Structure 1
Amino acid sequence: MSFHGKSDRQILQTLGERLRGHRLRRDITQEQLAERAGLSVSTIKGLESGRGRLDSLVAVLRELGQLDGLESFLPDPGISPLQLAERRGRPRQRASGTSQVAPRGKKKPESDW
């Protein structure tokens, strides 16, 4: 199933339906899941209807044994080229090859504008 072309609301409803499906496959009531995850029943109902907070979602995913899905859902983007250069102690290089900042200790010439 592709989420492209769906509204944000439709995507959230689909995610809520999937949470509900995982809960039902484990044969757990909303009350049992709420107790195990340390949340209220209304929070579980909200998540299953596409509403809720990220911390609540993580607690439910943990209880349903679905935390591994988060890695494929939102993988680590890795280190950026800027962060890598900073770690190596090198100045940032621009794609144009020209620096927009004057070297340390030297002032850029004043513009006539």
Structure 2
Amino acid sequence: MNWKRMTDQAIVDEMGRRVKQLRLQKRYTQKELAQNAGVNINTIQNLEYGRSVTLSVLIQVLRALKSLDQLDYLIPEVVESPMMVMERELKPMQRVRKSKKK
């Protein structure tokens, strides 16, 4: 899937579709998932129908689906190379500056 070419709404729609597929695969009704996640059934419907929900709701739903480990694919952990560790220890980064455009 080419996420870069998708609009924000298209991404939200796709995420909702995937959550729905996962729910069906695990044989949960929307009501069961809502109860297990500690949210209202309307929240599950909103998520599945491509309406925005909070990140904490997504986490609750993934936890209820026993798929919280999927967050590693969403935002992988940054692994520092030994050189990066050494540079950071020598001079810790204070801020990021953008170079001026000419």
**TM-score past 0.5 threshold:** yes
TM-score by length of 2: 0.75
Q: Secondary structure at the match of 2:39?
A: coil
TM alignment of 1:62-73, pairs within 5 A: 62-73=63-74
One-letter code aligned to 2:23: R
TM-score by length of 1: 0.69
Cα displacement (A) at 1:49: 1.9
Give the length in aligned residue pairs: 90
Greater helix proportion: 2
**Percent sequence identity over aligned pairs:** 32
2:99 is aligned to: none
Relative to structure 1, is the Cα distance of residues 11 and 79 closer, same or farther in structure 2, using a 3 angstrom cutoff?
same
1:59 and 1:44 map into 2 onto residues whose CA distance is: 11
Where do 4+ consecutive residues of structure 1 move more than 6 Å?
Answer: none
Relative to structure 1, is the Cα distance of residues 35 and 65 closer, same or farther in structure 2, using a 3 angstrom cutoff?
same
Extract unaligned runs of 5+ from structure 2: 94-102
Larger gyration radius, structure 1 or structure 2: 1
Relative to structure 1, is the Cα distance of residues 85 and 49 closer, same or farther in structure 2, using a 3 angstrom cutoff?
same
Is 1:28 the counterpart of 2:18 in the alignment? no
1:99 is aligned to: none
Extract unaligned runs of 5+ from structure 1: 94-113
One-letter code aligned to 2:49: S
2:15 and 2:91 map into 1 onto residues whose CA distance is: 43
- CA RMSD, Structure 1 to Structure 2 (Å): 2.3
Q: Which has the higher contact order (CA 8 A, sep 6+)?
A: 2
2:40 and 2:20 map into 1 onto residues whose CA distance is: 15
